[in-house]
Amino acid sequence: MLKAYLPVLILVLVAAGFAAFAVVASYLLGQHKPTRVKMAPYECGIASPGYGRTRIPLRYYTVAMLFLLFDLEVVFLYPWAVTFKKLGLFGLVEMMVFIGILLVGYIYVWKKGALEWD
Amino acid sequence: MAVLIAKWVIFVITSLLAIVSSLLMITRRNTIHSALFMILAFVASAILYLLLGCQFMAMIQIIVYAGAVMMLILFVIMMIDLSKEEKLKMKVTRTKIAGVIVSVLFMLALILVMGLNSVKGKLGALSSIGDAKTIGTLLFTKYLLPFEVASILLLAAMVGAVMLSKKKAFGGEDQ
């Protein structure tokens, strides 16, 4: 069973190796002449004002919380999708009930304006 | 034999990775660095689940913990201002000493209760129900009611999340 994960392991090793190679090679082969401007965090060409770690509004957290809940819905969809053929129509109805209940929550969230930004 | 050795090597590497990244996570002064080490710890434990034969748990560990929960924690870090705390020097206070003593006692109690024999562990029952297919079959037949109840639990959590963060919708002051 674990043999099926061998390609995943190889992919992880190749990815980690490539990342490490890129960093180490550029460190060893490149020239190092750091100036203040060069070392500044670069985003899109405009000099960044202030400290990078300012406090962000609570709204982001609301979206994050709602995302977590719908992510948990996906967790249930995963074993369902794997066994979909075996369960047949019964499984479909079950999942529709499950999604239906969560859809009520989604409509509630929408109507209460939790997805609005103002 | 070769498979066993390979398994053992992967186990040793990932468990060391989990321990080291957990230690780095709680000792970093920069909270973003802690968060990154936490992802590493989650991924390492996902691999440990995989080695135990719990494929489904491993997937959940990555999707929910390393993905969604991690994002929640990152938003908490971004929401609070820690610039002062990050500059503080490590201080040994009485509370911290007491905390260390209590947690060591708690660990000893856990070891005593579980018994040193059971720490060795046996790979058996779990490995046969660990994959998504078996869990799916059980969840949508035998444990159908808990599954549907879970959706109501998620609904309640959704209402709670909106209630707590959108005071304006309930006639209060929004923040």
Total number of domains in chain A: 1
- Looking at residue A112, what is its pLDDT? 84
> Quick one: what percent of chain A has pLDDT higher than 90?
28
Which position has the token pair 């249930």? Answer: A76
Residue A117 lies in a domain: no
Residue A118 lies in a domain: no
Contact B41, B25 (CB under 8 A): yes
Which position has the token pair 């434990």? Answer: B45
pLDDT of B101 > 90? The answer is: yes
Segment A86-99 mean pLDDT:
89
Whether residues A58 and B56 touch (CB distance < 8 A) is answered with no
pLDDT of B39 > 90? The answer is: yes
Determine the residue of chain A that is closest to B157 in CA distance.
Answer: A69
Domains and CATH numbers, chain B: 1-80 (1.20.120.1200)
- Which domain CATH number covers A63? 1.20.58
Tell me, what's the ipTM? 0.74
- Looking at residue B175, what is its pLDDT? 45
Which position has the token pair 């321990």? Answer: B19
Whether residues A64 and B136 touch (CB distance < 8 A) is answered with no
> Quick one: what percent of chain B has pLDDT higher than 70?
84
The parent domain of residue A73 ranges over 2-112
Q: Please give the Cα distance from A77 to A82 (Å, whole number).
A: 9
pTM greater than 0.80 (yes/no): no
**Model confidence pLDDT, tens digit, residues A29-71:** 988 888 887 777 776 777 777 776 677 777 788 888 888 888 8
CA distance A104 to chain B (A): 8
Residue A46 lies in a domain: yes
Q: How many CB pairs under 8 A join A and B?
A: 147
State chain B's mean pLDDT as an integer: 83
pLDDT of B106 > 90? The answer is: yes
Cα B21 to Cα A66, A69, B12, B65, distances in angstroms: 29, 27, 14, 15
- Looking at residue B13, what is its pLDDT? 93
Q: Is B135 on the interface with A (CB under 8 A)?
A: yes
Whether residues A97 and B148 touch (CB distance < 8 A) is answered with yes
Give, as one character, the DSSP assignment of residue B88.
P
Q: Please give the Cα distance from B28 to A27 (Å, whole number).
A: 25
Residue A92 lies in a domain: yes
Nearest to B152 among A1, A78, A101 (CB): A101
**Model confidence pLDDT, tens digit, residues B119-150:** 555 655 555 667 788 888 888 888 888 888 98
- Looking at residue B125, what is its pLDDT? 55
Which position has the token pair 């799916």? Answer: B136
Cα A77 to Cα A49, A66, A84, A94, B54, distances in angstroms: 44, 17, 10, 11, 18
Give, as one character, the DSSP assignment of residue A30.
S
Helical ranges in B28-143 per DSSP H: 31-51, 55-60, 70-79, 83-87, 94-114, 116-120, 125-129, 132-139
Could you tell me the pLDDT band of residue B174, with boundaries at 50, 70 and 90?
very low
pLDDT of B67 > 90? The answer is: no
Residue A67 lies in a domain: yes
